[in-house]
């Protein structure tokens, strides 16, 4: 039986999520990859134990994480039941609905039918009475925004979620959704979006600025650009890399000569800072205090331990930030 490390809260830093009372660790664990039915269950357990032993209290899922869809929640539910349920009140567990989960017209997007049915399914798979955060996973132009927001509100009011969140929204739609949720007195506190040195979308579509203005938290996924912001691809593609073992999200074609040159230059910058490239990339996302937490994925426990080191130095000089922009934004 697993017993959590007594020192688990000694070094992690916790930050209030927007204006809410909920604190999140600056590093959170995402279960998007390596928790499906194609992964080793024993390794999943060690990833969760390593994370929690080092102060990572937040575990992020979605209904469709796998493969197969639903399997990440099912496997995490087994880990909870066997080892982590005694620590439930120390954990922040989130899930989402919106991407394709089951066949037919109700299996995705943002209708009340999909959202509330999906949450019930997620709770059953994980063996939980509630999740801490329930997200709408993507914008839906064909469903009235009021309907989707009312589903989030009902999820909270029913006691099946404590907070509401939005994922993959832009700044304009975030502002509209916030107004609706405020009128409903729904505790909407967080946005989840892709953000990294290589992907500045939330800066360009107004999400980062709007979330900060509205005092909502941001949690960034893919902060390492699916592994490109590490040194693993500088000398070829390793056999155990995501490109080789999965290939659904990062393709070998993405590693162009230009991209590899950028990675090499950023890697040298990281060395000058006394960090690995992965550490520097995570530190960069956290640099200005607007992003509450970064979601890391991991296939090995050691990767979690390495990534946690990023919180030790999130300060950058103006010269460093300028150089990172010059390297990463070059055509």
For residue range 61-102, what is the model confidence (pLDDT) as tens digits? 999 999 999 999 999 999 999 999 999 999 999 999 999 999
Report how far residue 57's alpha carbon sits from residue 50's, in angstroms, rounded to the nearest whole number: 11
Mean pLDDT of the region 257-286: 96
Domain ranges within the chain, ordered by starting residue:
14-225+289-301
* Range from 240-254, 256-270, 299-313 carrying the lowest mean pLDDT: 240-254
pLDDT at residue 277 is higher than 80:
yes
Average pLDDT, the chain: 95
What element of type H or E holds 54? none
Percent of the chain with pLDDT over 90: 91
CATH number of the domain located at residue range(s) 14-225+289-301 in this protein = 3.20.20.100
Q: Crossing angle of helices 301-308/277-286, nearest 10°?
A: 50
Note the pLDDT tens digit of each residue in 162-188.
Answer: 999 999 999 999 999 999 999 999 999
Q: Which residues contact 319 (CB under 8 A, 6 or more apart)?
A: none
Note the pLDDT tens digit of each residue in 205-233.
Answer: 999 999 999 999 999 999 999 999 999 88
Report how far residue 140's alpha carbon sits from residue 93's, in angstroms, rounded to the nearest whole number: 24
pLDDT at 235: 77
- pLDDT category at 253 given cuts 50, 70, 90 is confident
| SS3 state at 145 | helix
pLDDT at 49: 98
DSSP state of 196: B
pLDDT at residue 199 is higher than 70:
yes
User: According to DSSP H, which parts of 161-276 are helical?
Assistant: 171-183, 201-204, 207-213, 242-245, 257-272
Report how far residue 317's alpha carbon sits from residue 141's, in angstroms, rounded to the nearest whole number: 41
Note the pLDDT tens digit of each residue in 131-167.
Answer: 999 999 999 999 999 999 999 999 999 999 999 999 9
- pLDDT category at 234 given cuts 50, 70, 90 is confident
């Amino acid at each position: 039986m697993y017993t959590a490390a007594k020192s688990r809260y000694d070094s992690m830093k916790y930050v209030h999520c927007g204006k809410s009372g909920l604190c999140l660790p600056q590093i959170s664990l995402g279960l998007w990859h390596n928790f499906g039915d194609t992964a080793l269950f024993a390794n999943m357990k060690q990833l969760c134990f390593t994370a929690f032993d080092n102060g990572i209290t937040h575990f992020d899922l979605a209904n469709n994480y796998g493969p197969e869809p639903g399997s990440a929640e099912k496997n995490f539910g087994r880990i909870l039941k066997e080892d982590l349920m005694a620590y439930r009140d120390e954990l922040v567990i989130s899930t989402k609905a919106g991407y394709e989960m089951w066949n037919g017209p109700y299996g995705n997007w943002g209708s009340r039918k999909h959202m509330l049915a999906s949450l019930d399914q997620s709770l059953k798979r994980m063996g939980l009475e509630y999740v801490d955060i329930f997200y709408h996973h993507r914008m839906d132009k064909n469903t009235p925004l009021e309907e989707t927001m009312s589903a989030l509100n009902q999820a909270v009011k029913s006691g099946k979620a404590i907070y509401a969140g939005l994922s993959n929204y832009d700044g304009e739609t975030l502002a509209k959704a916030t107004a609706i949720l405020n009128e409903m007195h729904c505790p909407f506190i967080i946005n989840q979006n892709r953000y990294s040195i290589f992907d500045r979308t939330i800066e360009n579509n107004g999400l980062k600025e709007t979330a900060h203005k509205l005092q909502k938290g941001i949690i960034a996924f893919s902060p390492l650009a699916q592994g490109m912001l590490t040194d693993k691809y500088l000398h070829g593609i390793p056999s155990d890399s995501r490109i080789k073992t999965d290939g659904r999200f990062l393709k070998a074609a993405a590693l162009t000569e230009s991209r590899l040159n950028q990675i090499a230059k950023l890697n040298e910058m990281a060395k000058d800072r006394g960090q690995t490239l992965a550490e520097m990339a995570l530190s960069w996302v956290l640099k200005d205090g607007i992003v509450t937490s970064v979601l890391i994925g991991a296939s090995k426990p050691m990767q979690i331990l390495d990534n946690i080191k990023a919180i030790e130095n999130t300060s950058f000089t103006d010269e460093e930030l300028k150089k990172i922009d010059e390297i990463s934004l070059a055509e």
